Amino acid sequence: MPEHRSRRDAVRNREAVLAAADALFSRRERPEDVTMADVAAAAGVGKGTLFRAFGDRAGLLRALYEARLVPFREAVESGPRPLGPGTAPRERVLALLDAVLCFKLDNRPLALALEENGNGSPYRAEHYAWWHGLLRAVLEEMPGLAEPGFTAHALLAATRADLVEHLAGQEGLPRERLRAQLAEFTTRVISSAPR
């Protein structure tokens, strides 16, 4: 028999909070004015419960982000081409960056909230480490490409949530145009050896 599973009300409340937060961050434009108290209220739960379940605001954001990221992780780690393994490096790099971009487009407020400094730099987040490690590994398989580590950082920087928000939101650049431009940029980066 298991030591102690979580209590029913605990898991129920955790779910409720995740759902409520998900909804709130999707609806509200400005992620920074979704307050913890708002989330608690929307979930029909006290602030204490909220903080016990997720530690702090960053923890809640991380939990939400990770949850939405699951399909992408699976697609990348064991899915079909072009995102999955066993794809030629060039094609996979393009697919990865496109996936990252699409993910941020589809989760704008959440990505924005999470990348916000104040939690600590986004570069310490584990999901960033994962993406960076993956991209770096694929880049390493490409001949004639020095500094795959930096290149991975630089390419990912082109998909920063606030840049995406600026281009897609403020400037109204359509999704497809943005994807095309990123693809073109990426292609240029990986298509030639310098010097």
Partner DNA sequence: ATATAATCGGACCCGTGGTCCGTTTTCGAC
Partner DNA sequence: GTCGAAAACGGACCACGGGTCCGATTATAT
Q: Which one of residues 72, 76, 103, 115 is an interface residue with a copy of itself (CB under 8 A)?
A: 115
Q: Which two tokens stand for residue 59?
A: 């923890």
Q: Give the separation between CA 166 and CA 164, rounded to whole angstroms.
A: 5
The burial class, CB within 10 Å (0-12 / 13-18 / 19+), for 111 is: buried
User: Does residue 101 contact residue 178 with C-beta atoms inside 8 Å?
Assistant: yes
Q: Which is nearer to a copy of itself, 45 or 164 (CB)?
A: 164
Q: Does position 33 bind a copy of itself by CB under 8 A? A: no
Residue 176 C-beta: closest distance to DNA, Å? 35
> CB of 165: closest distance to DNA in angstroms?
19
SS3 state of residue 140: helix
Sketch the per residue contact string, 129 through 168, with a copy of itself: x for CB under 8 A, - otherwise: -----------------xx--xx-xx--xx-x-xx-xxx-
CB of 14 to a copy of itself, least distance (A): 28
Please state, in angstroms and rounded to a whole number, the distance separating the CA atoms of residues 61 and 54: 9
For tokens 């409340």, name the residue: 13
Indicate the residue among 74 and 184 with the shorter CB distance to a copy of itself.
184
- 64 contributes a contact to a copy of itself by CB under 8 A: no
Residues contributing to the site for DNA (CB under 7 A): 4-10, 12-13, 33, 35-37, 44-49, 51-53, 56-58
Contacts of 122 (CB under 8 A, 6+ apart): 114, 115, 128
DSSP codes of every residue in 107-121: THHHHHHHH-TTSS-
* Residues near a copy of itself (CB under 8 A): 32, 112, 115-118, 121-124, 146-147, 150-151, 153-154, 157-158, 160, 162-163, 165-167, 170, 181-182, 184-185, 187-189, 191-195
